[in-house]
Structure 1
Amino acid sequence: MNKTRVGVVGAGYWGPKLIRNFHDLPTASVAMVCDVRSDRLDHIRRLYPDTTTTQNFDDLLASDLDAIAIATPVASHYPLARAALLAGKHVLVEKPLTTNSADAQSLIDLAKEQHRILMVGHTFEYNPAVQMLKDIIKSGKVGDIYYINATRVNLGIFQQDINVLWDLAPHDLSILLYILEQDPTAVSARGAAYVQPGIHDVAYMTVNFPNNVMAGIQVSWLDPCKIRRITVVGSQKMVVYDDLEPEEKIKIYDKGVDKPPYSDTFEQFRLSYRYGEVTSPRVPPDEPLHLECAHFIDCIREGKQPRSSGEVGLKIVRILEKAQNSLLNGGQREKLW
Structure 2
Amino acid sequence: MKKRICVIGGGRWGQNHIRTLASLGHLGAIVEADAERLTLLLEQYPGIEGYSGIDEAIRTHYDGYTVALPAEMHYPVGVKLLQRGLNVLMEKPMTLTSAESAELVRLAGESGARLMVGHVLLFHPAYRKIKEIIDSGKLGKLFYLYSCRLNLGTVRTEESVFSSFAPHDISILDYLTGDSACSIKAKGSKFLQDKVYDSTLTLLEYPHNVHAHIFVSWLHPYKQQLLVAVGSKGMIAFDDATPEKEIHFYNKRIDMKNGIPVKVEAPDEIIAYEKKQPLTEELAYFVEHLDSTIGINDGQAGYEVVKVLETVQQIIEKQ
Verify the 8 A CA contact 1:119 1:306 in the aligned structure 2: no
Match of 2:271 in 1: 281
Q: Which moved more, 1:58-67 or 1:127-136?
A: 58-67
Q: Secondary structure at the match of 2:47?
A: coil
Change (3 A) 1:181 1:326: same
CA drift at 1:14: 1.2
Matched, 1:165 2:154: no
Which whole-Å CA distance do the structure 2 matches of 1:303 and 1:141 have between them? 31
Verify the 8 A CA contact 1:253 1:278 in the aligned structure 2: yes
CA drift at 1:252: 0.0
Which whole-Å CA distance do the structure 2 matches of 1:18 and 1:187 have between them? 33
Match of 1:145 in 2: 142
Which whole-Å CA distance do the structure 1 matches of 2:142 and 2:295 have between them? 27
Q: Which moved more, 1:172-181 or 1:162-171?
A: 162-171
Which whole-Å CA distance do the structure 2 matches of 1:220 and 1:160 have between them? 14
- Aligned counterpart in structure 2 of residue 309 of structure 1, from 267, 290, 298: 298
Matched, 1:47 2:47: no
Match of 2:17 in 1: 18
Q: Secondary structure at the match of 1:232?
A: strand
Which whole-Å CA distance do the structure 2 matches of 1:43 and 1:188 have between them? 47
Verify the 8 A CA contact 2:85 2:108 in the aligned structure 1: no
Specify the code of the residue in structure 2 equivalent to 1:274. Answer: V
Q: Secondary structure at the match of 1:280?
A: strand
Q: Secondary structure at the match of 1:76?
A: helix
Which whole-Å CA distance do the structure 2 matches of 1:87 and 1:228 have between them? 39
Q: Secondary structure at the match of 1:198?
A: coil
5+ residue gaps, structure 2, are none
- Aligned counterpart in structure 2 of residue 258 of structure 1, from 255, 259, 268: 255
Verify the 8 A CA contact 2:6 2:29 in the aligned structure 1: yes
Specify the code of the residue in structure 2 equivalent to 1:150. Answer: S
State the aligned residue count.
Answer: 319
Which whole-Å CA distance do the structure 1 matches of 2:153 and 2:36 have between them? 24
TM-score with structure 1 setting the length: 0.88
TM-score with structure 2 setting the length: 0.92
Q: Secondary structure at the match of 1:4?
A: coil
- Aligned pairs for 1:153-232 (under 5 A) are 153-232=150-229
Let me know the Cα RMSD of the aligned residues: 2.0
Which whole-Å CA distance do the structure 2 matches of 1:10 and 1:156 have between them? 25
Which whole-Å CA distance do the structure 2 matches of 1:284 and 1:312 have between them? 25
Matched, 1:292 2:282: yes
Q: Secondary structure at the match of 1:194?
A: coil
Change (3 A) 1:47 1:193: farther
Verify the 8 A CA contact 1:62 1:87 in the aligned structure 2: no
5+ residue gaps, structure 1, are 264-268, 331-337
CA drift at 1:274: 3.1
Question: Deviations for 1:190-243, whole angstroms, at most 9, x for unmatched residues?
Answer: 213333442223211111112332211011223231211100112221100222
Question: Deviations for 1:26-85, whole angstroms, at most 9, x for unmatched residues?
Answer: 4x2x22222333453344234313323333232322333222111112111101111122
Q: Identity, % of aligned pairs?
A: 32
